[in-house]
Amino acid sequence: MAEQGQYFYPNRMGLIILRSMEELVGKAALDEVLQAGGLESYSERFPPNDLELGFPFEHLGALQAAVEAVHGAAAGRELNRKVGQMCLNNGLREFNPLLGIADLPVRMMPLSLKLHVGFDIFAMVFNRFSDQVVSLSEDQKFYYWIIERCPVCWGRHTDAPCCHLAVGILEEGLRWATNGKDFLVAETSCIAQGDPTCTISISKRPVTAPAPAE
């Protein structure tokens, strides 16, 4: 494992995550989580809104673990997933001036092309602006978002996949790119439980809503 402080998100990504959590739970509840994770310095001041690599991976891993410690494993993982969903919306606003994401005609493309372009854009954001390493793969039924160096579970040891923040980001990204369609999104391997990568599978077709009862 890398030494402490070797890998980073840009400050802007750390800011987006902390702001999103504060919007969901409020400042007092966020401060409780930060204290539990040994991250009290963020109670006084969030990271600056810039692209300097200054938000350590271990801080994100500690934040995710603290949410589970304060709220319980099941509720904490669901909260981390919801934070991820909110991060996507906040992140689009923050990164669009650099990437022109909202100006791309992604949502007008056929579904398969739309998803390929969307995944490429997301992977490029993380690979270009952070020390996170993402690769992409697929088979007949699923796309695979493969995180080879994962900040979400950095420094953690768990008995089940725990990168719910990343799952939430992908879920909301898919809704954005497809005008509100839902897909099956599940983490199937996780470095925190001893796997070589954190791999998230995404169904190639949206989930079909059940027909209304007659």
| pTM of the complete model beyond 0.85 | yes
Residue ranges of domains in the chain, CATH in brackets: 8-203 (3.90.1520.10)
Tell me the C-alpha distance between 135 and 182, whole Å: 22
Q: Which helix (H) or strand (E) holds 147?
A: strand 142-149
Q: How far apart are the first and last CA of the chain?
A: 57
Inter-residue contact 182 to 206 (CB < 8 Å): yes
Helix, strand, coil fractions of the chain, as percent rounded to 5: 55, 15, 30
Tell me the C-alpha distance between 28 and 174, whole Å: 31
Task: Spell out the per-residue pLDDT of the chain, length 214, in tens.
Answer: 344 559 999 999 999 999 999 999 999 999 999 999 999 999 999 999 999 999 999 999 999 999 999 999 999 999 999 999 999 888 766 666 555 555 556 556 788 887 888 888 889 889 999 999 999 999 999 999 999 999 999 999 999 999 999 999 999 988 888 888 999 999 999 999 999 999 999 999 998 654 444 4
